[in-house]
Structure 1
Amino acid sequence: MDLGIIGAGTAAVGLLDALAATEGTPGSITVFDGSSAVWRGRPYQPDVEAVRVNAPPALMSVRATDRAHYARWLQDRHEVARYLDEGLGQPLVPRSVYGEYLEQTAQTAIGRLRRNGWQVSMVNSRVVDFSRPGASDGRAVLHTANGGSHPVDRAVLSVGSGRPRDHYGLTGAPGYVNEPYPLADTIAGIPADARVAVIGSGLTAVDIAVALTTDNHTGPISLLSRSGVLPFVQQRPLPLAPQHLTPANGLRLAAAGVVHFHQLVELMRAELAELGQDFESFAAEIRATEQPVTRLRRQLTELDNPHQGRRLLTMAIRVLGPIVWPLLAEQDRSMLRSEYFRTISSLSSPMVPRNAKIVLRLLDSGQLRLRPSLGKIEARPGGGFTVHDDAEWHADVVFNAVNPPAYTTPQETEPLVSALLASGAAESAATGGLCVEPRTRRLLVADRPDPTWHALGNLAADSLFIATNPPGLAMEAAALAHHLMA
Structure 2
Amino acid sequence: MRRIAVIGAGAAGACLVESLGELVSEPCDLTVVDGAPFLWRGRAYQPDARDVITNIPASHMSVRASDPAHALRRLTARTPGCVDAQGLTARSLYGGYLAETLTRTLRRLFGRGWRLRTVRTHARRLVPEDDGVRVVTESGAEARFDHVVLCAGPASPPDPYRLAATPRWIAVPFPLARMLRGIGPDDRVGVLGSGLTAVDVVAALAARGHRGPVVLASRSGLLPAVAPLDAPPPLRHLTLTRLEGLTASGRRPSSGDLRALLAAELHGLGCPVGALRHELAADRPPFELLRRRLAGPDGHDAALAVLRQALPRFAGQAWSLLPEDEQTALWERHGRAVTSLCCPMPRHRAELLLRLHDAGRLRAVSGLSRVDRAPGGGFDLVTDGTEHRVDVLVNALNPGAPGGAAPSTAEASVAALPGAAHPLGGLRTDRRTHRVAGTGDGPARLYALGHATRGAVLFHFGMPSLVYQSGLVACALAAEGGPSRGGRAVSAAAH
Write the deviation string for residues 357-413 of structure 1: whole angstroms up to 9, x where unpaired: 111001000011122232322224532223333433422111111122346696472
Alpha-carbon contact 2:191-2:396 (below 8 Å) kept:
yes
1:162 is displaced (CA, Å) by 4.9
Distance 1:35 1:433, change over 3 A: same
**Distance in 1 between residues matched to 2:118 and 2:235, nearest whole Å:** 41
Match of 1:76 in 2: 77
Alpha-carbon contact 1:442-1:454 (below 8 Å) kept:
yes
Write the letter of the residue equivalent to 2:61: M
**Distance in 1 between residues matched to 2:33 and 2:153, nearest whole Å:** 13
Match of 2:92 in 1: 96
Alpha-carbon contact 2:428-2:437 (below 8 Å) kept:
yes
Match of 2:392 in 1: 397
**Distance in 2 between residues matched to 1:298 and 1:433, nearest whole Å:** 36
1:481 is displaced (CA, Å) by 0.6
Q: 1:327-346, aligned counterparts within 5 Å?
A: 327-330=321-324, 332-346=326-340
Distance 1:12 1:251, change over 3 A: farther
Distance 1:237 1:396, change over 3 A: same
Among 107, 112, 123, the residue aligned to 1:116: 112
Q: 1:144-183, aligned counterparts within 5 Å?
A: 144-183=137-176
Distance 1:337 1:420, change over 3 A: closer
Match of 1:366 in 2: 360
Q: State which drifts further: 114-123 or 252-261.
A: 252-261
Among 463, 469, 474, the residue aligned to 1:476: 469
Q: 1:231-380, aligned counterparts within 5 Å?
A: 231-238=224-231, 241-255=234-248, 256-271=250-265, 276-280=269-273, 282-288=275-281, 289-302=283-296, 308-330=302-324, 332-380=326-374
1:30 is displaced (CA, Å) by 0.6
1:102 is displaced (CA, Å) by 1.9
Instruction: Tell me the TM-score normalized by structure 1.
Output: 0.88
1:354 is displaced (CA, Å) by 1.2
Aligned residues: 475
Write the deviation string for residues 183-222 of structure 1: whole angstroms up to 9, x where unpaired: 1111113211111111111111111111111100011111
Q: 1:202-217, aligned counterparts within 5 Å?
A: 202-217=195-210
Distance 1:332 1:421, change over 3 A: closer
Specify the SS of the correspondent of 1:440: coil
Specify the SS of the correspondent of 1:206: helix
**Distance in 2 between residues matched to 1:466 and 1:131, nearest whole Å:** 27
Write the deviation string for residues 437-475 of structure 1: whole angstroms up to 9, x where unpaired: 332322222885783311112423653345522222222
Match of 1:196 in 2: 189
Match of 2:180 in 1: 187
Match of 1:107 in 2: 103
Specify the SS of the correspondent of 1:443: coil
Write the deviation string for residues 241-263 of structure 1: whole angstroms up to 9, x where unpaired: 44443333333334444123344
Matching of residue 452 in structure 1 with residue 453 in structure 2: no
Q: State which drifts further: 261-270 or 226-235.
A: 261-270
Specify the SS of the correspondent of 2:107: helix
Write the deviation string for residues 112-144 of structure 1: whole angstroms up to 9, x where unpaired: 322221112211110113557xx622x233222
1:436 is displaced (CA, Å) by 2.4
**Distance in 1 between residues matched to 2:104 and 2:297, nearest whole Å:** 37
**Distance in 2 between residues matched to 1:226 and 1:470, nearest whole Å:** 27
| Structure 2: gaps (5+ residues) | 480-495
RMSD after superposition: 2.9
Write the letter of the residue equivalent to 1:377: V
**Distance in 2 between residues matched to 1:43 and 1:371, nearest whole Å:** 25
**Distance in 1 between residues matched to 2:405 and 2:286, nearest whole Å:** 31
Q: State which drifts further: 24-33 or 316-325.
A: 316-325
Match of 1:87 in 2: none
Match of 1:128 in 2: 124
**Distance in 2 between residues matched to 1:410 and 1:450, nearest whole Å:** 32
Write the letter of the residue equivalent to 1:155: V
Query: Identity over the aligned pairs, expressed in percent?
Result: 33
Write the letter of the residue equivalent to 2:98: L
**Distance in 2 between residues matched to 1:46 and 1:243, nearest whole Å:** 42
Write the letter of the residue equivalent to 2:89: V
Alpha-carbon contact 1:226-1:373 (below 8 Å) kept:
yes
Distance 1:194 1:430, change over 3 A: closer
1:331 is displaced (CA, Å) by 5.5
Alpha-carbon contact 1:2-1:29 (below 8 Å) kept:
yes
Specify the SS of the correspondent of 1:172: coil
Match of 2:20 in 1: 19
1:25 is displaced (CA, Å) by 2.3
